[in-house]
Structure formats: structure tokens, C-alpha cells
């Protein structure tokens, strides 16, 4: 199989389609009406009016035949369900933490962890906190600090591990404010930084700094399998190892993890919090019972636990991971060849289009990312996600400044779309890019004070 994949250029999906989910085709006129009704906010569009939905890769993937079969094994006993033990074994095979606490999704694991160890005056460093992670840190009164390497902040700079943490900066922070740091987090892959991986060497170096200061290290492991695949492909001396071995080594370097099973759990819902510390686990379990459920199901049904356990077996399949990363890069390569600036190298789960670069005539406060995302939908029914000034430009004091970048993220749901769907996305994007100078910006008509990107309404300018 490996040899065959290496010889032929065509990326084939390593699966056949078993259940068909129809896509409803729409006309440009229908989509224009849908946009108007939604106030030009793609979050408010009815999903049935979307042809190719690249809004997120979270919980939107297709489950396998074996996951659906596993669902039939779901045992809904309140306490001690056999499905719980299947789940526990699957998690501990990859991440041998002593305590595993199931949650309904990743942010619930974050909520438990930071309720237990956060609080005013505390500082939580990470390579880059994901937005829900940062929000859960800050909700407790603690401060989140992002210490990604400088290369990770430059969209077009090529570096194999742009998710790496700046360990000198971590060491300096721990020297200065060590007493205030309850845990060091590392996000694999670095989602907010473009799905960029963290190397094994960097993880060892972070571990050494944590040891020198007596601090626990927790993984935000949402895309652990994609991260391990990038280590296998890109890190010297790792090519001969299996993905499972690499994942196990990554797990052995940490004291615990938070996880969204909606990503590399290959499930539509679920997550967990895991750790070795007995006292911390007891504290988190007590909170779990208060907000999520009994410790052998958390916020999940037995059938969900079974689907995740099977998903964890499938996500480390190397034919799957090769297809996953190559098919994402296939989209990115074609967009770059069409002259569309993108964040590079391409991450595992998404391609990020640089709207500020493509639409220099639209100033950031007229939202070039929104203009590009809306046009991709209007022209071809493709739904991406603005990650720019709409998402990050509004401050708590009501002032507005340009976001760090104006990107449109095209996130690829797992095992859901075929190459011809992606070829269609490329064709539409090429057409939109050829008309770039005719695109116009937006003004915001209504907006809430926080997280405005979900519910703001817009009006087209010009």
C-alpha cells in the first residue's frame, strides 16, 4: 500500500462510501437571498443551503461502518457501563494516564481543569491557547500567555514545526512568575496558529523546563494523530516509527491532557480530561458530577463512548493520516498556484486564505476576510470561517482595531468530502480570486459585545 501511494500521484480516499448524505444544490440567486436573510453572517445560514461546508472540522466528520456498529454496542448503564471500560482502554492505550474523566466535549474538560487550578493571579502558558481554552482560563481570573516560536507568527514563513513553544521564553516566565504557574499547556497541533505541529524534540525540551521548575505539563491533544504524523514525516529519525509509538511517547512526556473527541476522536461529540495526579483527579471528578455526570459516562451516552473508542483505533491508521494531510495540502497547493496567498506550510485540518493579502483594496475595518468568505459562499455555496478583524477586532472597552491577520479558514471535515468536491472548491476560489479587485467590504449593522462573529449582522459597502 505504501509503495503504491508513493508511486502514484493521485490521492485516493482510503475508504468507499457506504451511506450517502445528499447535498442540496442551490443557485446563485437562492444563495443571495439566503445571505440577505442571514445579514451576511455565514453562521446564520441554514446548513441545507450550503454545498461544501468547511466552517469547521469539529464533530462534522463521517463515522465509519465500525463506529456505527460500535454504537449498537452502547450500554447505557448509569454506573460502570461496559462501554466506559471500552473507552477507558482505548484512551489509555494511547495515553497511559492514571485517571481519565469523560466529558461532553473539549471545553468541558478545560472548564473542570481550570476551575480546579486556575484563579486570579495565576498564569497559564501555552504555545497558543485555543479560544475556548483561553476563555476558560480567563473566566477563572487567570491569565493565558502564548509562547509560540517567532516563526509561528509569520503566515508565509516555511518551518516544519511552527507550533513549537519558545522554551527560553517559558524558562524566563517560570523564573519570574513560577509560583503563579499551576500548569504548562501545549496544543497539538497548534489550531489557532494554523494547525501547525509541535516536534518531539520541542516536547522533550518543554518537559525538561517543566522538570527544572517542578511544573506539570498538560497537552491540549485535539489533533494528536495529525501531530504525530507530521513528526513521522518531518522530524529526523522518526520516519521508521509507527504513529502509535510516537503518540505514546508524546503522552509519556505529559502529566495530563484535555481532549475534544470531535477532532481526532473521529466522533461527532465527546472529550476527556486525563491526569496522573490523584488529588487533582478527585477534585475534577467532584466537579464533573456537579456539571457533567457520573464519572463513568461524563456528559456522554454509552454509545458515544463506544464511537470514540473505535474512532481512536481508526485515527492512528497511517493510510488515513497520509490521505488526511496530503488531501489538505492538495487544496492548499492549488490555491497558492492560483495566486491566492495562504498560511504555509498547510496544517493538518485546514487551509487558511490570507484575505488581507488577496484584497489589499479592502481595509481591515471593512473586513476583507468577511468579504472573501461571503463571496465564496455567494459564488459557489462554500462556507468557510472568517478568522480576522470580525473575530478579534472588537475589544472589551468597545473600541475596534484590525485583527492580527484577516484570514478565511477552510477546515476539512474528516472522511467527508471527495477529491471532486475539493476540485470544485478550487475552481470557485480561482474564479473569486480572478475577480478580487471587484470585491467590496462590509460594515457591521448590529453586534453583541462579545464573540460578535457568531451573531453580528453586516451590510455590504459600495
Ligand X SMILES: *Cc1c(COP(=O)(O)O)cnc(C)c1O
Q: Is 106 exposed, middle or buried (0-12, 13-18, 19+ CB in 10 A)?
A: buried
Q: How far is the CB of 180 from ligand X (least distance, A)?
A: 23
Q: How far is the CB of 191 from ligand X (least distance, A)?
A: 4
H-run or E-run covering 413: none
Q: How far is the CB of 61 from ligand X (least distance, A)?
A: 13
- Tell me the residue number closest to ligand X, measured at CB: 106
Q: How far is the CB of 428 from ligand X (least distance, A)?
A: 26
Instruction: Using the minimum distance from each CB to ligand X, give the nearer residue, 219 or 444.
Output: 219
What CA–CA distance (Å, rounded) separates 89 from 461? Answer: 55
| Residue 381 backbone phi and psi in degrees, to 5 | 75, 20
Q: Which residue has the cell 473507552?
A: 87
Give CA separation, 215 vs 125, 168, 170, 184, 427, in Å.
11, 15, 11, 7, 50
Please tell me what DSSP assigns to residue 146.
Answer: E
What CA–CA distance (Å, rounded) separates 261 from 309? Answer: 10
Instruction: Using the minimum distance from each CB to ligand X, give the nearer residue, 171 or 220.
Output: 220
Binding region for ligand X (CB under 6 A): 58, 105-107, 130, 132-133, 187, 191, 220, 222, 260, 262-263, 271
Residues 282-299 as b or e (16 or more Cβ within 10 Å = b) = ebbbebbeeebbebbbbb
Please tell me what DSSP assigns to residue 252.
Answer: H
Instruction: Using the minimum distance from each CB to ligand X, give the nearer residue, 341 or 347.
Output: 347
Q: In Å, how far from its chain's centre is CA 8? A: 30
Instruction: Using the minimum distance from each CB to ligand X, give the nearer residue, 81 or 128.
Output: 128
Instruction: Using the minimum distance from each CB to ligand X, give the nearer residue, 173 or 222.
Output: 222
Q: How far is the CB of 151 from ligand X (least distance, A)?
A: 19
Which of 183, 193, 248, 260 is closest to 220 using CA atoms?
Answer: 260
Q: How far is the CB of 297 from ligand X (least distance, A)?
A: 17
| Residue 159 backbone phi and psi in degrees, to 5 | -155, 135
Q: How far is the CB of 112 from ligand X (least distance, A)?
A: 12
Instruction: Using the minimum distance from each CB to ligand X, give the nearer residue, 137 or 340.
Output: 137
Instruction: Using the minimum distance from each CB to ligand X, give the nearer residue, 187 or 202.
Output: 187
What CA–CA distance (Å, rounded) separates 362 from 364? Answer: 7
Amino acid at each position: 500500500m505504501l509503495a503504491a501511494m508513493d508511486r502514484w500521484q493521485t490521492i485516493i480516499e482510503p475508504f468507499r462510501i457506504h451511506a450517502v448524505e445528499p447535498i442540496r444544490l442551490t443557485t446563485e440567486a437562492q444563495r443571495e437571498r439566503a445571505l440577505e436573510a442571514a445579514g451576511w453572517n455565514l453562521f446564520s445560514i441554514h446548513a441545507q443551503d450550503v454545498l461544501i461546508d468547511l466552517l469547521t472540522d469539529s464533530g462534522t466528520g463521517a463515522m465509519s461502518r465500525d463506529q456505527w456498529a460500535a454504537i449498537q454496542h452502547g450500554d447505557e448503564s448509569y454506573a460502570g457501563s461496559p462501554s466506559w471500560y471500552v473507552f477507558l482502554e482505548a484512551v489509555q492505550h494511547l495515553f497511559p494516564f492514571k485517571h481519565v474523566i469523560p466529558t461532553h466535549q473539549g471545553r468541558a474538560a478545560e472548564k473542570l481543569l481550570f476551575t480546579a487550578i486556575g484563579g486570579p493571579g495565576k498564569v497559564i502558558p501555552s504555545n497558543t491557547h485555543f479560544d475556548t481554552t483561553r476563555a476558560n482560563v480567563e473566566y477563572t481570573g487567570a491569565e493565558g500567555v502564548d509562547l509560540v516560536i517567532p516563526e509561528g507568527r509569520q503566515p508565509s514563513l516555511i518551518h516544519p514545526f511552527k507550533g513549537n513553544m519558545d522554551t527560553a521564553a517559558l524558562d524566563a516566565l517560570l523564573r519570574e512568575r513560577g509560583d503563579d504557574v499551576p500548569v504548562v499547556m501545549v496544543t497539538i497541533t497548534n489550531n489557532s496558529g494554523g494547525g501547525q505541529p509541535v516536534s518531539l524534540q520541542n516536547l522533550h525540551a518543554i518537559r525538561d523546563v517543566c522538570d527544572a521548575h517542578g511544573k506539570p505539563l498538560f497537552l491540549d491533544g485535539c489533533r494528536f494523530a495529525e501531530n504525530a504524523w507530521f513528526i513521522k514525516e518531518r522530524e529526523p529519525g522518526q520516519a521508521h516509527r509507527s504513529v502509535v509509538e510516537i503518540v505514546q511517547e508524546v503522552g509519556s512526556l505529559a502529566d495530563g491532557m484535555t481532549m475534544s473527541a470531535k477532532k481526532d476522536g473521529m466522533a461527532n461529540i465527546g472529550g476527556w480530561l486525563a491526569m496522573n495526579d490523584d488529588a487533582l483527579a478527585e477534585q475534577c471528578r467532584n466537579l464533573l458530577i456537579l456539571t457533567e455526570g457520573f464519572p463513568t459516562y461524563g456528559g456522554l451516552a454509552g454509545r458515544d463512548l463506544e464511537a470514540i473508542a473505535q474512532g481512536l483505533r481508526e485515527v492512528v491508521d497511517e493510510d488515513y493520516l497520509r490521505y488526511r494531510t496530503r488531501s489538505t495540502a492538495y487544496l492548499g497547493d492549488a490555491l497558492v498556484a492560483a495566486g491566492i496567498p495562504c498560511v504555509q506550510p498547510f496544517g493538518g485540518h485546514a487551509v487558511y486564505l490570507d484575505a488581507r493579502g488577496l484584497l489589499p483594496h479592502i481595509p481591515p475595518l471593512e473586513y476583507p476576510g468577511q468579504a472573501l468568505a461571503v463571496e465564496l459562499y455567494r459564488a459557489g455555496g462554500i462556507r468557510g470561517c472568517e478568522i480576522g478583524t470580525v473575530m478579534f477586532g472588537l475589544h472589551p472597552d468597545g473600541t475596534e482595531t484590525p485583527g492580527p491577520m484577516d484570514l478565511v479558514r477552510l477546515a476539512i471535515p474528516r472522511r467527508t468530502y471527495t477529491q471532486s468536491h475539493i476540485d470544485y472548491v478550487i475552481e470557485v476560489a480561482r474564479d473569486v480570486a480572478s475577480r478580487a479587485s471587484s470585491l467590496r467590504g462590509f460594515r457591521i449593522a448590529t453586534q453583541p459585545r462579545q464573540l460578535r462573529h457568531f451573531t453580528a449582522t453586516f451590510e455590504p459597502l459600495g
